[in-house]
Amino acid sequence: MTIRYPNGKLYTPNPTVQNEAKKDDNKEISFSNRGKTLEDEINEANDYYIKKRLAIIHKKPVPVQIVKVEYPSRSAAVIREAYFRTPSTTDYNGVWKGQYIDFDAKETASKTSFPLKNIHLHQMTHMQQVMEQNGVAFIIVRFAAFERYFIVPYEVLQKAWQAMENGERKSIPFSTIESEAFEIPTSYYPRIDYLPIVQQLIEAKSHGSESEEIVE
């Protein structure tokens, strides 16, 4: 099936993500996690939160306009060409304890940094708008080589993005991720229980705001 962006440009899956997914399938770090992608793990956590009535967070549907369909038989239809109606923003959003949550999920095979090419300008703009409305915006990054997961706050992304636009490096060093992001410990079920770490992010942001007020 052919899928195109709103401007007509042909959509091609990210080969980096596909290669990383294949590498992950070959890893045998734990039997329960074998073959699962980061998206699978987040969806599992979100299902758990809904069942326990802890939060309502869903993956956003991608609006697609179908332009070419073939009918090889009366009972079957095959989509041959489609367009993304609008550029995607982030992968997930929802409500938790009265707080609006909005985030994207990213995986990388790199052992040294998170490439900023995995983030798009319209996603940065969207997360900034979420922050302006007092929402919580971040990305969840999985470093496949280490099987480690981090919540990277928008502020960390924004600082790195501005540095990139100023001609500096085009990635966030892993050392910066370790020091400025919030690591999500893995467990049995759900494997990545990320909401307690989001709470840490909110509390850190709140304490930072209080400190700024005292200084002023």
CB 129 within 8 A of CB 95: no
CB 90 within 8 A of CB 20: no
CA atoms within 13 A on the CB side of 185: 4
Phi, psi of 86, deg, nearest 5: -140, 155
Quote the pLDDT of residue 206.
79
The rounded distance, in Å, linking the Cα atoms of 150 and 26 is 22
Number of other residues whose CB lies within 10 A of the CB of residue 105: 19
Q: What is the pLDDT along the chain (216 residues), one digit of tens a residue?
A: 555 555 555 656 555 444 544 444 443 334 445 557 999 999 999 999 999 999 999 998 665 555 566 677 766 776 665 454 555 688 899 999 999 999 999 999 999 999 999 999 999 999 999 999 999 999 999 999 999 999 999 999 999 999 999 999 999 999 999 999 999 999 999 999 999 999 999 999 877 655 555 455
Phi, psi of 38, deg, nearest 5: -60, -40
Phi, psi of 164, deg, nearest 5: -65, -40
ω into 87 cis (within 30 of 0) = no
Quote the pLDDT of residue 164.
97
Quote the pLDDT of residue 21.
42
Instruction: Give the three-class secondary structure for 12.
Output: coil
